[in-house]
A and B are shown apart, each in its own frame.
Chain A
Amino acid sequence: MPPLITQHDLENRVQDFLAAHDPRTTSKQDFLRARFDAGLAWLHYPEGLGGLGLPRDLQPVAEKAFAAAGAPDNDPRRIGIGLGMAAPTILAFGSDEQKQRWLRPLWCGEEVWCQLFSEPGAGSDLAALATRAVREGDSDDWIVNGQKVWTSMAHEARWAILVTRTDPDVPKHQGMTYFVLDMTAPGVEVRPLRQLTGEAEFNEVFLTDVRIPDSQRLGAVGEGWKVAQTTLMNERVAIGGGSSPRESGMIGVLAQRWRENPGVRDSSLHDRLMALWVAAEAARLTAMRLSAQLAAGQPGPEGSAAKYAFATLNQQISGLELELLGEEGLRYDDWTMRRPDTVDFVGRSPGYRYLRAKGNSIEGGTSEILLNIIAERVLGLPGEIRVDKDVAWKDLPR
C-alpha cells in the first residue's frame, strides 16, 4: 500500500516547496525544473519522473495552490501535444533512459512536441499509412521517407512522435513501428499548410532520408499500432468546461447579434434561431451531465456524441449568422496568411466562424467515423465490411 496523501498533506508540500523556491526570485526555468524534480509536476506520474504516484484528481489541488502563489506555469496550451499525447506514450512504452531524457524538458515546456500520424493517403484509415522506415544494413539506424500532414506546432517542435510502415508484406495493422523523431534532423522539412480560412494552423512535414537511431524507437518493431493506440486514447480530452454557462460559444455570439440588431429579425429566421438555441442548450446540459457522470465514477459513452453534436451545431449556428447579416455576410475580415497558435472562434468575423467550423466535423475523427463508433461500440450494430483485414499492406488499393 502506498502511503496515503491527503489534500491537506499535498497543500503543505506545495507550501514547503514555494517557501524554498520563491516564484518572485526564481527564474521560470529553474522554478519549473525544481517543481518537476520535487514530484509536483504531474502528480500521478511515478516518483523520479515528475510525479508522486498520486491519484489524478489531486492535480487541481496542486495547480490551485501554485496559481494562488503566482507561480509560473509551463504554458500548457503550447505544449498540449507533448503533455497529452507524447508523454503518456513515453511513460507506457519508453525505456528508463528515454523517460529520463524526454519527460523533464517536455513538462517544463523547454521542448515542444508534435505528432506525425496523418498522411495525405491515411486520414480516417490511419493504419493505412505509407511513410516507410527501413533499417540501414546491420546498423542501429532507420532511414525514413514519407509525408505527414495536419501537424500542429511542427514549425516550433523539437521532437515528434511518428508512426511508420516497417513491414509492407503483412496486413496493415501489423507492419508499423513507432519512433520519436528529432525535428532538427537533416531531411525534415516543415511547410505551412494553408487552410480555407486563409491562415495556417497546421503543417505538412516532408521526410526525406531522415536518419533515426534505434534508441529512439518506442515499443517493439511491428508493434507501432499498439503504441499509437495509447497515444490516441490519451487524445480524448476531457469535455472542456463541463459547467460552461448558458449561451457560451457560438450561440452566444448569434444571440447577442439578434438582440443588438432588430433590423435582422424575421419570423422564419426566428424559429431557426430558437431551434438552434434549444439544440445548443441541450448539448450544454448533456456535457454537464457527462461531467457529473465522470465525477460520480459512471463514465458514459456520451463523450463521442459530444464532439459530433458540437461540430454539427457550430456549423449550423455560424451558417445562420451569415444569413442574418445579409450584406455584411458577404465580407470577410482578412485572408492574410498567418500562423495562429489557437482557434479564435469568437474574436474573428462571422465568415471566419463559418469557414473554420467546417473543420470541426473533419478534425479529430470525422462525424461519419464518430457515428460509426457510436453505432458499433454503443449500440452494438455490425461493423463495416472490411476488405483490407487479411491483405498485405502492399497489396491494398491506394
Chain B
Amino acid sequence: MSEELLYSEPEEELRTAVADLLADRAPWASVLARTESAEPYDAELWKALGTGIGAAGLLIPEALGGAGASLREAAVVAEELGKAVAPVPFLGNLTATALLLGVHDAGNGTAAAADELLRRIADGEQTVAVAIPFTRSPDTTYKGRVSVTPWPPREHPHEARLTGRVTSVADALPADVLLVPADGSIYVVQSSDAQRTAVTSLDMTRVLCDIEFDDTPGMLLTTRYGALQSALLSAAAILASEQLGLAERCLATTVEYVKTRHQFGRAVGSYQGLKHRLAQLWVQIAQARAVARHAVSATGEEQAIAVAVAQAHCSAVAVQAAEECVQMHGGIGFTWEHPAHLYLKRAKSTSLALGAPSRHRRRLAELVDLPAS
C-alpha cells in the first residue's frame, strides 16, 4: 500500500495542467483584487478548470460524461488550488458530486435524478453545492433547520416545499443547484428559487453565504442520510490536500523572502531563530503530504481513521505555515498589499471547516478505541 502515498505520473500531469492554468489566470494580485469586487468567485477560471481541464467531473463515471477518476486525482487539483487560494467552487462542487454519487451507487428510485445532475456537472452546465454549514464534520448528526411540507400531497411523492434557513454555506454563491439536508433527507433545490445572502467571510477567497428557503420547491433526492456523511468524509479528505498545498506555498514564499531580506548585515534566513522554525515546518509538511495522500487512498473503515488523522494534522500545519509566513515577512506580511493574509485567512478558516482538529481527534478516539472516559 505504501506506493499509494506517492504521486503517479498521470497525477503529476494533471498537477502541471492545473498549476499552469492558475499561474496564468489566478496570480495572487488578481485574487486579491477580486476579493473586493462584486464577483468574489471567478466564473471564467472555474469554467476553464471545471470543463477545460475537467476538474468539475473528475469523480463522475465516464458513462455520465466524467473522467472516472478518484479522490487521489481530485486531491492533486486541491493542492494546486490551495497554493493559489483560487476563488473557485471546486470543493463545494466536489462535496455535492460525492453525495450524488452515493445516491447513484445505491441505484434506488431517485438515482435517475442524481445521474441527470451528474451529467450536467460533468458537462459544465451546472455547478452544485450542499447547503450545510461549512463547519460540519463528517460525523455530524446535523438535521438542519429546514422544514419540509409535501407538495402537492400524494400526487407527486418526490416534490416538496422547504422553509427555513442555513447559515455559513461554502461555495453556494456560484452554485446553480443546491442539495439541501432537511428532515433527515436530502432535497434538490434550484438555487435561484432560494434567497442567498453573501456573508462577509474571514476567508475572502471562499465567500460563504446564508440561505433562506421560504416555501421553496424541492425534489426529494434520497432518504439515505448516510450519503451526506460519506460525502463530507470525501470533502474532508480533499480539504487536507488543499491545506497541504497552501502550507507548501507559504513555506516556499517565506523561504525565498528570508534569503533576500537583510537586517544587521545578514540575510534574516541565516538566523537560527528562523531557520529552525522553517525546518520544523518543513518536517510537518512532509508529514502532511503522507497523511493527506493516505486519506485520499484509504477505503472502508480505514478511510474514516485516515481522514480524521489528516484533518487533525493538516489543519494545524496549514495554520502554522500561514502564521509563520506572516510573522517571518515582518511588517510587509502585515499589509493588505502582500498575499500572506490571503493564506492566513484561508488556513484559519479551513481549520474550522468540516470539523476542527479537536473534533477530529475526538472522532478518532472512538474509531481507535481510546475512550475519553
A interface list, Cβ under 8 A from B: 242-243, 255, 258-259, 262, 265-267, 270-271, 273-275, 277-279, 281-283, 285-286, 288-289, 291-293, 295-296, 298, 300, 302, 305, 308-309, 368, 370-372, 374-376, 378-385
B312 x A278 contact (CB < 8 A): yes
At the interface, yes or no: B369 with Cβ under 8 Å from chain A?
Answer: yes
Asked if A242 contacts B2 (CB within 8 A), the reply is yes
The answer on a CB contact under 8 Å between A372 and B272 is yes
B25 lies within 8 A of chain A by Cβ: no
Chain B interface residue number, banded: 35 or more
A368 touches which of B255, B276, B288 (Cβ 8 Å): B276
- Which of B49-57, B105-113, B290-298, B334-342 participates in binding chain A? B290-298
* Chain B residues packing against A (C-beta within 8 Å): 2-3, 5-6, 255, 258-259, 266-267, 269-270, 272, 274-276, 278-280, 282-283, 286-291, 293-294, 309, 312-313, 358, 361-362, 364-365, 368-373
**Minimum distance in angstroms from B239 CB to a CB of chain A:** 16
Contact residues in A for B274 (Cβ distance below 8 Å):
381
Does A289 lie within 8 Å of B269, measured CB to CB?
no
Q: For B272, what are the chain A residues with a Cβ–Cβ distance below 8 Å?
A: 368, 372, 384
CB–CB B280/A282 < 8 A = no
Cross-interface CB contact of A285 among B282, B287, B373, cutoff 8 Å: B287
The CA of A259 and the CA of B283, in the complex, are separated in Å by 30
Enumerate the 6 nearest inter-chain pairs by beta-carbon distance, A residue then B residue, closest first: A382-B270, A274-B361, A375-B275, A374-B279, A292-B2, A289-B5
A274 and B2: CB pair below 8 A?
A: no
Return B192 CB to nearest CB of chain A, in Å. Answer: 43
User: Which residues of chain B have C-beta atoms less than 8 A from A271's C-beta?
Assistant: 358, 361
**Do the beta carbons of A305 and B369 come within 8 Å of each other?**
no
Q: Is the CB of B278 within 8 A of A375?
A: yes
Q: List chain B residues, Cβ under 8 A from A281.
A: 291, 309
Could you pull out 12 A-B pairs where Cβ atoms are within 8 angstroms? Answer: A265-B373, A274-B365, A277-B370, A279-B313, A282-B309, A285-B5, A289-B289, A309-B283, A368-B272, A372-B276, A372-B279, A374-B279
Of A271, A274, A275, A378, the most chain B CB neighbours within 10 A belong to A274
Min CB distance A34 to B, Å, is: 37
Q: How far is the CB of A316 from chain B (nearest CB, A)?
A: 14
Contact A381 B270 (CB under 8 A): yes
Number of A-B contacts (CB under 8 A): 133
Q: How far is the CB of B358 from chain A (nearest CB, A)?
A: 7
Residues of A within 8 A of B6 (CB): 289, 292-293, 296, 298
Q: Report how far A292 CA is from B293 CA in the complex, Å.
A: 13
Q: Would A267 and B278 count as touching, CB distance under 8 A?
A: no
A375 touches B286 (CB 8 A): no
Task: Point out the residues of chain B lying under 8 angstroms from A385, CB to CB.
Answer: 266, 270
Q: Which of A273, A286, A368 contacts B290 (CB 8 A)?
A: A286
The answer for the CA separation of A298 and B371 in the assembled complex, in Å, is: 40
**A374–B280 CA distance with the chains assembled, in angstroms:** 9
B373 engages A382 (CB within 8 Å): no
Q: Do B278 and A289 touch across chains, with their CB atoms under 8 A apart?
A: no
Q: Give the Cβ gap from A201 to chain B, nearest Cβ, in Å.
A: 27
Contact A379 to B309, CB < 8 A, known contacts A265-B373, A372-B272, A385-B270: no
Q: Which of A265, A266, A300, A379 contacts B278 (CB 8 A)?
A: A379
Which residue of chain B lies nearest to A379 when distances are taken between CB atoms in the complex? B255
